[in-house]
Chains A and B, each alone.
Chain A
């Protein structure tokens, strides 16, 4: 009888440990203490869809002449704006790489720091890409 009780206690303790671990993971994720590979992959796909893809399309439009802006009849890219967004994009690419490297090496604190930087840069890039007018077209 004592053996059975001991086994049951051990079983409950193990289940409790696993549950607590799960709860801890959820709390960490909720408090942004842990960045997962899925979060990075999802952010990267969103970035490619919302920013990099439209930026590529925008770059391929003819160059705007002085004083000209993008319209449906005369689609063109502003060289200054393109350069500005690409400068931010370089920083975003580096932040993605830093985040990925931290995750790969198991440096969770580094991953959180890099991901926080990344999110800030993505917001800047998104606000800049909105100025191109390309987001109106479906992005």
Chain B
């Protein structure tokens, strides 16, 4: 393997790791909460439930905006 190929592979691995880290950072709190509810008898407060609802609304609004932009695009 030549150094250029090795460097390209390393850069690819770093990109993948960065994407995985970014995604994991966002979703980890939800997975941890689900685990705590299931196995540690955690009960969500009204505030926690509301925060979850707000986050869902925000995500869905952004997704809908992207879909609207996709529909409007001609490419």
Contacts and interface: CB of A to CB of B under 8 A. Distances in A.
A59 interface: yes
A57 B22 contact: yes
What's the dominant secondary structure at chain B's contact region? Answer: helix
A72 B59 CA distance: 23
A56 B22 CA distance: 12
A134 to B, nearest CB: 7
Q: Which of A37, A49, A134 has the most CB of B within 10 A?
A: A49
A22 interface: no
Given A77-B66, A83-B67, A137-B23, A41 B31 contact: no
Contacts, number: 104
Interface in A36-56: 37-38, 41-46, 48-50, 52-56
A16 interface: no
Interface of B: 12, 15-16, 19-24, 26-28, 30-31, 33-34, 37-38, 41, 43-44, 49, 52, 55-56, 59-60, 62-64, 66-67, 69-71, 73, 75
A60 B37 contact: no
28 contacts: A38-B38, A38-B41, A38-B43, A42-B34, A42-B37, A46-B31, A46-B34, A48-B56, A49-B28, A49-B34, A50-B27, A50-B31, A52-B59, A53-B26, A53-B27, A53-B30, A55-B63, A56-B59, A63-B73, A63-B75, A66-B75, A73-B15, A75-B19, A77-B66, A86-B64, A138-B24, A138-B27, A139-B27
A32 B21 CA distance: 37
B75 A73 contact: no
